[in-house]
Amino acid sequence: MLLTGNIISGEFDERVNEFSIQKVKHFTTESSIKENQLKSLHDYLKKHQNDADGQIITLYDQMPIRLSQEEVNLIINDLEKIQTMYH
């Protein structure tokens, strides 16, 4: 199942119960995220969603991507949509 969110785009694989992230903002990537990883990321961002300076996430533990406070809220919405796909 394909998802094109505001910040995250990718595809959910029901066979292995994983979401493959293909794009974050305008950066192309290929990374799979399990339900517990998604929940941890969601919980962290939710806890810090009101930080005026936003947040920084990394792709491949190497490339930092800055998210504004508004983008943090958008990615939280994307993660909540993805969360409903897990079984």
pLDDT tens readout for residues 63-77: 999 999 999 999 999
Residue 30 and residue 36 in contact, taking contact as beta carbons nearer than 8 Å = no
* pTM metric for this prediction: 0.93
Measured CA to CA, the distance from residue 19 to residue 86 in angstroms comes to 8
Hey, where are the domains in the chain? 2-83
Residue 41 and residue 59 in contact, taking contact as beta carbons nearer than 8 Å = no
Q: How confident is the model at residue 61 (pLDDT cuts 50, 70, 90)?
A: confident
Tell me what pLDDT residue 60 has: 84
Query: Could you report the per-residue pLDDT of 14-30, keeping only the tens digit for each?
Result: 999 999 999 999 999 99
Over residues 26-52, the mean pLDDT reads 96
